Amino acid sequence: MIQSSRVTITSNIQGVLDRATRRSRDVRTALTRTLAVGEWDKLLRAEAKRTLWALAKQSEWGFVDAFVATVLTGPFMTGFFARMSNPLPPVLVVEEFAMAQDLQKRALSQGTGPTLFSDFLNQFDQMMTDWVANEKDKDRRDYDKSDEEIGSWIGYLMLTPDSKLNAKRSGKVNPVTGKPVLSELEAKHSLMKHIVDYIQRRQTEKRLGKDQINAWLLAVLAAWSVLVRREFPGRFRAQLNVVRTEL
Amino acid sequence: MTPLINNAVSANALETSVMKLWQEFLARYFDGGKHDVGATPLVQFPLAELLFQQSAAGQPLAASGGLAITLVSSEVTRRKWVAWENYSSGLTSGLTSAATRQEICYEAVAWNFWVRANGTNGRALCKSGSDGLFGLLSNKGETHALGQKGICRLKVHAPRVIQETDYVLRLVSLGATLRYPILSQRYVDECGAGDLDPGAGDGGQSGLGAGS
C-alpha cells in the first residue's frame, strides 16, 4: 500500500550557465589571440608588397619598398590597426610657384596673413631648404645658419612682391667676393633663375602621379580588407580549438 | 565549354601550371570578340592584356588606352588537406587496364584580379572588363574547364571599385581550391578498383601529408 509519493525536480541550469560562461571566456581568449598584431603585420606587409609589385610598371618598382616601409600596425582597442601612407614628398611645379607668389601678394594686400595657405608655404620652404642643402654654393656667411633658416629667407624673397622688398644696398661688403652685398630685390632676381631651374628639374624627374599614388593606397587597402575577411574565420576557429584543448 | 589544352595542376610546377591554365582560360574570352557563355545573345568581352604576379615586363597599362588584368596570388594561409581517390589515369606501362588509387592534395588558395584601364574610355572599359570577369568566373558551365584541370570550387566576389579617375582600377577577388596528385603516393592494382586498400601494397602508404 502506498503511503506517500514524492516527485523531485532539479535543474542543471547552473551547469548550463557555467558552460556558457566558459564558452564566452574561450571565445574572448581566442579572439584576443587571433587579433594579436604580430602575425597580421607580416601578412599585411607581404600582401601590400605583392599588390604594389603587380600594379607598378617596371620603372616604378623603386617606389614599392618605400611605400611598404610606411606600413604601420599596432593594437587598437580589442583588435589592431594597419595603415600605409605616401612616402613621397610633394613636389611643387612651376605653375604652383607662380600661384604661391600670387597668394602671397593677395594676402599682403588684404592683410589676411599666410594662414590660408600655410601648408603650401611650408612645402615651398621645404623645397628651398632642399635646394640650399643640395645645390647652393655656401660661403662663410652661411656657416652660422642652418639650411632651414637660409631656405626660409630665400622662400621669403621668392614669394614677396618686388615692391615690398628693399631695393637699397646696405653698404656692407661680401667678405668672400669683396663686392658690395646685394639688396633684397637684387638677391631675389639673382636667385630666381636658379630656383626656377631647380623646380623645373624636379618636375621632370620620374615621379608618381597623384592618381597613381591614390590608386596604390586604395588598392592595398582593398587587398587588406579581402585578406582579413578571408583569413579571420579560419584563424579564429583554429585558436578556439587550441583554447578548448588547453587545460 | 572547350577543354583546356595545358597540363593539369601539378605539384612539380604548382605556380607555373596554375598560371598557364589561367592564361589559356582568360585569353579565350578577353580577345575583344563575342562569346557563347550560355547566354543569348552572345556576350561581348573586351580585349585585355593578361598579366600574372609581377610580370612587369612591358606592363602596358595602357599607355594606349587599353585594359589590363593582373592576377596576383593573395598572401593567405594556404590550408591543405589530402584524400585517397580513384584516379582515372588510364593505362600504365605493360598493363592494359589498371585501377589506380592516388593520394590527392587539396589546397585552398585566393587570387586578386586587378582590372585597370585608362584613357578617355577607361571607366567604361574597366567596368566591362571587371563585369565580364565576374560573370565568367561565376559561370559554372565555363569554369568547368578549369575544374577538370584542378582549379575548382571557385568562389568569386563582385567587382569592387577602387578608383575611378583617369587611372581606373577595380578588384575582383576569388577563392578557389587547387586539386593535384601527390607525387609518389599512388597505388596500382591490376585486379580492379573495388578491391583497393590504400593502406596495403607497395605503393599504398597511407600516411596523410606524406609528400605534400
pLDDT tops 70 at residue A230: yes
* Average pLDDT in chain B: 78
pLDDT at B139: 92
Of all helices (H) and strands (E), which one includes residue B154? Answer: strand B151-156
pLDDT at B78: 76
C-alpha grid cell, residue A207: 615621379
Who among A53, A61, A226 is closest to B74 (CB)?
A226
pLDDT at B18: 93
d(CA A157, CA B128): 53
Distance of CA B200 to the CA centre of its chain: 34
pLDDT at A188: 85
Residue keyed to cell 604594389: A52
Contact B173 A226 (CB under 8 A): yes
Q: Which residues in chain A touch residue B72, judged by CB atoms under 8 angstroms apart? A: 50-51, 54
Identify which has the larger pLDDT, A141 or A27: A27
Who among A46, A214, A219 is closest to B114 (CB)?
A219
Measuring CA to CA, which residue among B208, B181, B202, B207 is closest to residue B190?
B202
- B157 Cα to chain A: minimum distance (Å): 10
Pairing of strands B67-73, B49-52: parallel
Identify which has the larger pLDDT, B188 or A136: A136
Contact B56 A61 (CB under 8 A): yes
pLDDT tops 50 at residue B210: no
pLDDT tops 60 at residue A82: yes
pLDDT at A244: 85
**Model confidence over A187-210: pLDDT tens digits?**
888 888 888 888 777 766 667 878
pLDDT tops 50 at residue B63: no
Look up residue B112 and give its amino acid: N
Alpha helices for A56-135 (secondary structure H): 61-69, 94-110, 118-134
Supply angle C-alpha B5, B10, B11, rounded to 5.
Answer: 170
- B91 Cα to chain A: minimum distance (Å): 40
Residue B167, helix vs strand vs coil: strand
- ipTM of the predicted assembly exceeds 0.95: no
- A223 Cα to chain B: minimum distance (Å): 8
On the question of a cis peptide bond just before residue B3, with omega within 30 degrees of 0, the verdict is no
Alpha helices for B57-178 (secondary structure H): 122-138, 140-148
Measuring CA to CA, which residue among B133, B208, B117 is closest to residue B172?
B133
pLDDT at A205: 66
Contact B165 A214 (CB under 8 A): yes
Q: What are B171's strand-pairing partners? A: B114, B160
Identify which has the larger pLDDT, B138 or A60: B138
* Average pLDDT in chain A: 83
d(CA A96, CA A99): 5
Percent of chain A topping pLDDT 70? 89
C-alpha grid cell, residue A142: 652661411
What average pLDDT does range A48-75 have in this prediction? 89
pLDDT tops 50 at residue B209: no
pLDDT tops 60 at residue A35: yes
Q: How many CB atoms lie within 10 A of CB A245?
A: 7
Measuring CA to CA, which residue among A146, A144, A122, A120 is closest to residue A133?
A146
Q: How many CB atoms lie within 10 A of CB B177?
A: 18
pLDDT at A175: 72
Measuring CA to CA, which residue among B69, B74, B177, B41 is closest to residue B131?
B69
**Model confidence over B141-195: pLDDT tens digits?**
999 999 999 999 999 999 999 988 778 899 999 999 999 988 776 665 554 443 3
Could you tell me the pLDDT band of residue B197, with boundaries at 50, 70 and 90?
very low
What average pLDDT does range A80-98 have in this prediction? 78
- A204 Cα to chain B: minimum distance (Å): 18
Identify which has the larger pLDDT, B36 or B87: B36
Residue keyed to cell 585597370: B116
Measuring CA to CA, which residue among A179, A168, A169 is closest to residue A139?
A179
- Angle at which helices B122-138 and B14-29 cross, to 10°: 110
pLDDT at B188: 59
A50-64, A190-204, A213-227, A229-243 — which is least confidently predicted?
Answer: A190-204
d(CA B11, CA B210): 13
C-alpha grid cell, residue A171: 653698404
pLDDT at B193: 40
Of all helices (H) and strands (E), which one includes residue A200? Answer: helix A184-204
A225-229, B91-95, B168-172 — which is least confidently predicted?
Answer: B91-95
Q: Which residues in chain A touch residue B59, judged by CB atoms under 8 angstroms apart? A: 56-58
pLDDT tops 70 at residue B64: no
Q: Which residues in chain A touch residue B173, judged by CB atoms under 8 angstroms apart? A: 226, 230
pLDDT at A126: 79
pLDDT at B154: 95
What average pLDDT does range A53-60 have in this prediction? 84
Kindly list the distances between the CA atom of residue A114 and the CA atoms of A91, A109, A129, A184, B89, in Å, as whole numbers in the listed order: 20, 11, 19, 20, 79
pLDDT at A125: 78
Contact B162 A209 (CB under 8 A): no
Give which of B169, B172, B174 to mutate to test A binding, by max A Cβ within 10 Å: B169
